[in-house]
């Protein structure tokens, strides 16, 4: 029976993470001022706007942060965690569930950036078309993180700034997300 629960949990993760990716991309694209004429930006806008437009009337942007996209991404993590607890037959404490879903969202964004920086670094090693929509989008998203260190950690012809940023992201997962997730789990299980 646990194999079936694992399969359902995996499918729930996959579904909710795929949808959350759209809203996190929308959030980050607006925060990083990604080129709207990029076909990928238009795709993300087209599929997130029907959900976000009514929410944005009540919850407008704060500076360049799309609070509606942030709220929807967090709600997706909340529903995902709630369904996973329901699969196990556990009624979690609401405070713990809220905190656990916040930890999940932060972790999702950190892992998302880890993947983006890795892909961007890997693609920079090859002869690729810099004007390709995917590379332009990834470059626009990772530039704000890499810009402060760019050119300062160069040895020979290698720039180690992506490595330093990736190490910082992993440390944030260990030092920020893990304690939040542990506290959320403890609160959710009533410990």
Q: What is the mean pLDDT of each run of 10 residues along the chain (191 residues)?
A: 88 97 97 93 96 96 95 98 93 95 98 96 82 90 92 81 95 98 94 65
**How far is residue 4's CA from residue 162's CA, in Å, rounded to a whole number?**
39
Please report, for residues 48, 51, 141, the alpha-carbon distance to residue 33 in angstroms, rounded to integers and kept in the order given.
Answer: 17, 21, 8
Q: Where are the beta strands (DSSP E) in the chain?
A: 154-155, 158-159
**For the chain, domain boundaries:** 2-188
pTM of the full structure: 0.92
pLDDT at 173 (0 to 100): 98
């Amino acid at each position: 029976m646990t194999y079936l629960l694992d399969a359902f949990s995996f499918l729930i993760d996959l579904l909710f993470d795929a949808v959350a990716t759209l809203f996190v991309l929308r959030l980050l694209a607006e925060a990083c001022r990604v080129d709207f004429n990029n076909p990928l930006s238009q795709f993300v806008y087209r599929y997130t706007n029907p959900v976000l437009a009514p929410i944005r009337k009540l919850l407008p942007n704060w500076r360049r942060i799309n609070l509606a996209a942030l709220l929807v991404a967090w709600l997706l993590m909340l529903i995902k965690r709630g369904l996973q607890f329901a699969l196990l037959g556990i009624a979690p404490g609401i405070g713990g569930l809220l905190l656990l879903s916040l930890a999940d969202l932060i972790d999702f964004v950190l892992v998302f950036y880890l993947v983006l920086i890795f892909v961007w670094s890997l693609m920079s090693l090859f002869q690729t078309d810099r004007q390709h929509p995917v590379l332009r989008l990834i470059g626009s998203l990772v530039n704000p993180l890499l810009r402060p260190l760019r050119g300062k950690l160069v040895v020979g012809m290698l720039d180690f700034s992506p490595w330093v940023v990736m190490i910082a992201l992993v440390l944030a997962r260990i030092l920020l997300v893990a304690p939040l997730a542990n506290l959320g789990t403890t609160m959710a299980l009533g410990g």
